[in-house]
Each structure stands twice: as structure tokens, then as C-alpha cells.
Chain A
Amino acid sequence: MALHLRSSPSLKSTFLNILRQNLGFGSRSHVTRHIRQNLPHDPPLRGSQNPIRRFCNTMAEPETLSSFGQHEDARNHQVMDFPGGKVAFTPEIRFISESDSERVPCYRVLDDNGQLITNSQFVQVSEEVAVKIYSDMVTLQIMDNIFYEAQRQGRLSFYATAIGEEAINIASAAALTPQDVIFPQYREPGVLLWRGFTLQEFANQCFGNKSDYGKGRQMPVHYGSNKLNYFTVSATIATQLPNAVGAAYSLKMDRKDACAVTYFGDGGTSEGDFHAALNFAAVMEAPVIFICRNNGWAISTPTSDQFRSDGVVVKGRAYGIRSIRVDGNDALAMYSAVHTARGMAISEQRPILIEALTYRVGHHSTSDDSTRYRSADEIEWWNKARNPLSRFRTWIESNGWWSDEAESDLRSRIKKEMLEALRVAEKTEKPNLKNMFSDVYDVPPSNLMEQELLVRQTIDSHPQDYPTDVPL
């Protein structure tokens, strides 16, 4: 625990204030906080539920501020007072290395065979929660497979599976509370599933029927649920990250016992919005968890063409964000990491970055054939040797919580429910045409009312040009 530069609010430094304001060195708020080193195992601050500490004074100790410029510390090293805290001088030309000699280790609890790793730290889950985690992972996989096949049969226009990433989806959701607000990418339907979105609701969205909450306006897999605190998916990459930070700030101001959680892929970390969001989150001390699903592929682009850093986890530190790398195919590790991150995010009012290592076993979407750019062997290896479902199943079976019989009961029940949901959604009629014009604004302006009229007149003149399944 190297530097503890936080000081009490009363210890204000006129000098540093003047320096900051006149020279423009950073903002007035909380400059030194980022210097404070926090070991990953720092216990969350106790007795300070939802502290709002953005604007408390965290300047350097007063004795370091008594003289201008440089002086010597106790070890006779020359140091300089600078916004953010003391900076030591060095006579060496020493560049910070582009990477550590060893890659950041990956936290896991279960080995590839589903055996508990000796001495591993993890958050205990009850039988009930563990069984639900497993059941929902299986449900998600069955849903994905059936929707995927339905798309291949031409019944759905599009689909994207989460196959291979079931543990990230479900175990992260399990570690949150329903009050935590989710800003998803498009490969986290499992979070909705965990929260109670029904297979029928998923199917309604995919078919864009009149029961779709999105009123048939978006492509399949663009789910959203106000009731379940799951903001509607947009296809743009990483735009949801700054949104999540703003939402987290709202939770902070309302002193809610909740955080915002946002998901994205490895490709998303190259977007400006990723960097904007991490920096804003750190500066605003927003209770937000960034969960990166590093699945190796952004459509056909491997991570080697995406970044040269040691993955994503190392990017947090540059922004002053506590970060962890997790085995995303280990549901118990995901659960434990997210659970711990949530505790820190809320009790310490800070952002956390989680890089979950996983693999996109499915194609990017139904518009993609990934065997054109990666080997079938590679896909098969991840699906077999690193399968998140079988690993977790082994563990719950070893606890006596699961059996072959439970497995086959579950699979046949979900498959039946899923096929029924598909059948119902497919035959449910489309939303009425009026839904094309509503919700652009809170009230349709005159141009939209005119355009609706015009469209209806055109339909009367040329009914053959228009789909017959959209009620007028």
C-alpha cells in the first residue's frame, strides 16, 4: 500500500488551487485521488454506504505544500509538488515499459474439468442460485440454438447467439440485484433471462410482432425492458458506455444502493466511447461496472488486429480504475468477481473494469460464416475443452445439486416452451402501422401526421406494394 495521499477536507492548499486554476492543470476536483493506490484486495470502506466524495478535498499533505516547487523527501530523493501529489525526480532515462514481463493473471475458481481449485477465493452461492445459474445457461443455449435454426429456415430475419458466453451472461446477472441498471451490447440476453424476461417475450421481439415492447422497430436481439432495468439495445458499438456512466451518476446522486452495469466486446474497446466512458467514470466517481466480453473476435477481426496491450484489463489503470481479469467461462469466478465489484462500486462509489476472457463459439451473427476466417478446430476446442456449461455442471453435480435426470427434464421442458413461444410469436400479428409514427417525439409533430396520411393514401392506391401482415 504505497501512497495514501487523501487528506481531510479542511486541509486546503491555496497554492495548489492557484496552480490548477491558473495553469489549467486538471480540474479542481479530486486530483490526487487517482494517485491513491488500491490493492485489489482492499476491503470496501465500511460504515460509508454510498458516500458522495467527489468534491471532498484530497490534496497532498500540508507539509508537502509549504514550499514551492521541489524539495527533498525523507529519503533525500528530490520531489516536486504537482497536481495529483508528489512526483519524485530520477536521474535515469527510464521509460515505463509497454507491458509487464508477465501478462495479468486470470482469476478462476473452477478448472477446465469443473473441479474447485485449491485455495481459490470465491463468493459462496446457494444451491438455489447455483441451480438457477445452470438452468438459465442451458435455457439461453437452447433459445439460441432454436432461434438460430429458425433464422436458417427463413422464419427470422436475423439472429446473433451468445453461445460460448453463457457464463458471462448469466453469472454476472446473478451477482447483481434487479435495481442495478443494465446498458447492454447485443450479446447479453442472458441478463434479461435471469431477470425474468420470458421466452415468449424474447420471441415477440425477434418476430417484431405487436407484443414486442419495441413495437417492431428494431432487428431481432435488440431487446429492452423498463420493468427489468435493461436499457434497449442499440447496434452501435460502445455508445452505451458513456450512457451507463451518466446513469450511474444519477444513482450516486440519489444515494441508491445500486450501480450501473454495461457490457461490450473486445472490439468495442477501440471505440472512442470506451475511453470517454472510463475517463468520465473515474473523474465522476460513478458506481458503474464495465464488463468486457473479450471473446477474441470482433466479427472477423482477431484481438491481435485490435490492440497491442495486454488485453483490456490493463486499460483501466491508466484511467485510475480498479480492474480484474476473469475466466469468463467459469461461472463461479464470474459470479464472485461481479459480486465483489458491485460491493466496491457501490460502497466506495467508484467504477470497476472486468475483462472476462471467453470465446465466441457462434458466428458473429447469422450474416456471418466465421469458418472463413478461423478454423473449425479452434471453435470446437473452445466448445469442448472450455465449455462454460459442462464445467459448471460438473461442479453442481459434485455438490449433489444436479443430476442426469434433472438435465434431461430441463432440456425437454425448455425446448418445448421455446418451440411454443416461437409458434405463438410467429402467428401473432405485426404492430399497427400507426406505430411507425409514434414515439419519434413524445407527441407526433405535424410533419409526421401528414406523412402518415400520405402513406395511408398511397397504400389505398397501391396495396400490392405493401406487406399484408401489418395491420392498418
Chain B
Amino acid sequence: MSLMSLTALELGKKIRERETSAVEAAREALDQIKKVDKTLNCFVTVDEEQALHRAEEVQKKIEAGELTGPLAGVPAAVKDNLCTEGLRTTCSSRMLEHFVPSYTAEAVRNLENAGAVVIGKSNMDEFAMGSTTETSYFGPTRNPWNPEHVPGGSSGGSCAAVAAEECSFALGSDTGGSIRQPSAFCGVTGLKPTYGTVSRYGLIAYGSSLDQIGPIGKDAADCAAVLEAIASYDRKDSTSMKRDSYDFLSALDGSAEGLRIGIPRDYFGDGLNGEVKERILEAAKALESKGAVLEEFDLSLVEYAIPAYYVIASAEASSNLARFDGVKYGYRTREYEGLHNMYKKSRSEGFGPEVKRRIMLGSFVLSSGYYDAYYLKALKTKALIKRAFDRAFEKYDMILGPAAPTTAPKLGESLGDPLSMYLGDIYTVSVNLAGLPGITVPCGTDGRGLPIGMQLIGDCFQERKILRAAHAYEQTRAYSRCPMAAKQA
């Protein structure tokens, strides 16, 4: 049996018990990458030599008793918008094609301190802008369940790599659903933590007030373990929060007893694909069988989430991406006349169309004369959406719904119509606007064999509750491997 078919916790246990080693695990991950990544393109950069060297070091520390944690020696993929010292970090953009950071992101450093072995940087939508991983300068990632389909995005590389067993788990980032939606499309589990739980220091910003780093794994337990490793209060990130407890694993007791789950009618309307709706309602029933109490309710304001999100995220992005100007690092056009021509050409050539679209949109909504009508209104909408969730959490421990209205679309179907692509984010963006934690758990496939994910949304700081419910649900159905991984093994 392949080591990569194990969950991260199972593999970590085998390594600790000397049944295998960090080096063997890294080798298997790298072998699997060689086998499948030509087709899937989950990775922008794989540093084989460095990964093996690191695995050897970790193994020595494990043997010396210096590393005893559950993730010691386990191979991981890191989304390519997280800075890694000495290892190029591209954001899947031509702009940063050759950019090598001088420092490592806090979350990655935490992961390394836990003994995980980073084997490569995973593909994504350019600067995390997109829902399909097709806007990458390095070509699209393909869905391991069916390479004709997209893996979702923007953390598509991370999610597809976990599903295709090219790594045991991965880090992604989620600004409007970028962990949860591709997790659903790839049949893996992905968690977006409460805003402020994981330090953003070293995460190349898209929408600073919405961005949050989170784990992607085969199951809830892996996500809980990885969250324990990466979450920390970090003085370098002023939006980071000191939490009372960083214990998540102990919440998983296999039961959903006592959990009140609200099912918003607004999430199950006309826009939702029939098969997706069926699988999710079945999953809800399964949770009921594990002791949860279900109730339908009206969340309200759902239709305002997407416009508010795209105004706020694009506004912040237009400013965050201003630093990529060809002056200090990154892409600079070859020939130019004067400063302004250098700026224009470097940015025109260095950014792809979706990034340019959002920079223009963001610059527009912040322009004098439009600020109040767009940006301020979006901020007010954000506050109202948060209030709607607050009301829901007075009655329920969590909210259950889909992660996306459909299963993964085919490659090339989405980019031609960006507006309908944006509308696909309807179930995920409000979670970011309200700063809440959300998790997606695989709950079956559609008629074409494409995975469907159920989303559980918790109140701020209630990761333990949604992880517990996700884990309880997993007890009712086994993890299904994607056909490609199953065939390889």
C-alpha cells in the first residue's frame, strides 16, 4: 500500500513508530508527482533535492526525539502565494516568475517547526484571483477525478495534489472560497479558519481583510492537526488574534450529539444543481443520524454577498498589487522609455487578464466620486451580513450548505464569462466577509463521478464545532480516493 494513500496522521504515526521514515515518505510523494503531475500540473515548483535533504534532517530529529508531533516527517504542499525563503514564490504569475523571497511565511515556518516536509509550491489562480486555477501563468491544474475538468480555485493545485496523493496535506489560502470550493471539487477536506487565527505574515496579499490561510487534507482530523500546527498569535501580523486554545484535535469524538445545525433555505434555491442539492441533504440526514438537530431557516442578504465581496476584495487587491511595478523585484519589461512607460509595460505584460480586471475594478470603486457609492456601501453590506450570521448563531451551532452551486466545470468553460464565474462563489464569500470559519467535507459524487462537498460554517472561533461535525459525518461514509490515485496505487 502506498504511503501517500494514508492520511497525514496515519503516516505521521508510522514514521514515529519507525515503520517508515520521513525520507521514504518524501520519496513516495516525489515519485507520485513524477507519475501524475505532467497531466495534472498541481505544482509550480518542486525542489526534489531540498525536499529530500529536509526529510533527512527531520528524520534525524525524529530519531533524536526532538520532533515528536503528529506531522513530523509528513510531506506537504504549500500554495505558491506563501513566501518560502530561498524557494521561488510566484503567485502563479509572470510578474513573480523568478521571485525568490528573503523570508518564510509565519504559517510555513510553524509547519516546518512541526516537522512537516515541504516538497513543493502548488499551482493557483494568478494572485489567487479565479475559481478554476486556469488563470495561472504556468498553465491550468487539472482535476484528478477527471482531467477534462478544473480542480476549482484558487487553491486548485493544493487540493488536486492532496486528492492525487502527491502530498499528504497542503496549505491553501481562502479569500472568497479559495480553499473550500476547490476542496469540494477535488473530493478533499478544506478548512478556512476564523480571520486572525493563522498569521498572514508572508502570505502575498490579495484581499487583506478577507485572506486567511488554512489546511487541506483527506479528512477533518488532518485539518485539525494541521491547524494546530499553523495557527499562532503573531506580533508581525496586527490582525492576528490570541486565541484561548489551539487544541482542535480533541474535539473529534465521532459524534454530532447536541449540535444544532441551521440549513438556510436561501442556499438551496434555483441556482443550486439538483444532484448537488440531493447529496448535501443526504449528508445533512447522516449528521442527524449522528445526533445533530437540523432546522431550516432564512439567512437573508445572500444575494448581496457577491457584489460586496468583489468590491472589497478588488479594492484591496488594486492597492496590494501596486507594489509589483518592475522597480524592486519581479518582472520588468525589456524596453521602455522613462518611468511611466516602464510601469505601464511591466504591469501590462506581467499581469494576466483576470488580475488586470480586478485591479481596474478595485481602482474604480475607490476613485473619488465613487468611493461612497461602491466601497462604503460594500463595507455597510459586509456589516449587515455579519449581523445576519450573528442572528443565526444565536440559534444554531453551525450552518450547513453547499460549497458551490455545481460540480467542477470543464476546462475552458468559465473564463469567457467572468460574471457567471463570480456568481459561483455565492456560498463561500459571505463567510470571508463575516470572518467566520468554514469547512468543506466530501459527500459523494454526481452522475459524472465528480465530487460534491458539503460546507459547514461556524461562528467566530468555533472551529472545534465544525471539525467535530465534519468528523462525525465522516464516520458515516468512507473516504473515496480519486480514480487516478486508486489506479496508481
User: Do A and B actually bind?
Assistant: no
